[in-house]
Amino acid sequence: MEFKDLDPILHSQLRLAVMSLLISVKEAEFTFIKEKTNATAGNLSVQINKLKEAGYIEVAKQFKDNYPQTTCKITPVGVKAFEDYVNNLQSYLGVKK
């Protein structure tokens, strides 16, 4: 069986954690993702930016009660990439589908 390379954008602990959270919800605020992943704000910002540049997530910035609020949402491209990543992982691990 031929193994496909795992998507390098997703094969990183924090980015994969962010994508796994976002695949389960419609949208989530930056603070929610930070809380669930236990990441630092700086590191999380960098990784979210990489996911955004890859077109895997959409990031909306707005003001709520005079405070900046960042909301993230997975895109159809992101869903497809995530599904492919999981399928490839299953192939590597010999998980029968």
Partner 1 sequence: MEQQPEFTHAQSLELIQSMIDKARNKYSENGFAYLLWGWAVFVCSVTQFILLRMHFAHHYVVWFTMWIILIFQLIYARKRKKQNKVRTYTDEIVSYVWITFAILMFLFGFMFGQIMGKEYYKYFNTALLALYGMPTFLSGVILKTRALVIGGIGCWVLSLVGPFVPYDYQLLMISLAVVIAWIIPGYILQSKYKKDNA
Sign of CA dihedral 31, 35, 36, 39: positive
Smallest distance, Å, CB 71 to partner 1?
A: 9
* CB-nearer residue toward partner 1: 43 or 55: 43
Q: How far is the CB of 55 from partner 1 (least distance, A)?
A: 20
Nearest to 8 by CA among 79, 88, 94: 88
Nearer of residues 37 and 81 to partner 1, judged by Cβ: 37
Rg (alpha carbons) of the chain, rounded to whole number: 15
Residue 10, judged by CB atoms within 10 A of its CB (0-12, 13-18, 19+), counts as: buried
Which residue, 11 or 80, is less far from partner 1 as judged by CB?
A: 11
Q: Which residues bind partner 1 (CB under 8 A)?
A: 6, 11-14, 16-17, 20-21, 23-29, 31-32, 35-40, 43, 47, 64-65, 86, 89, 92-93
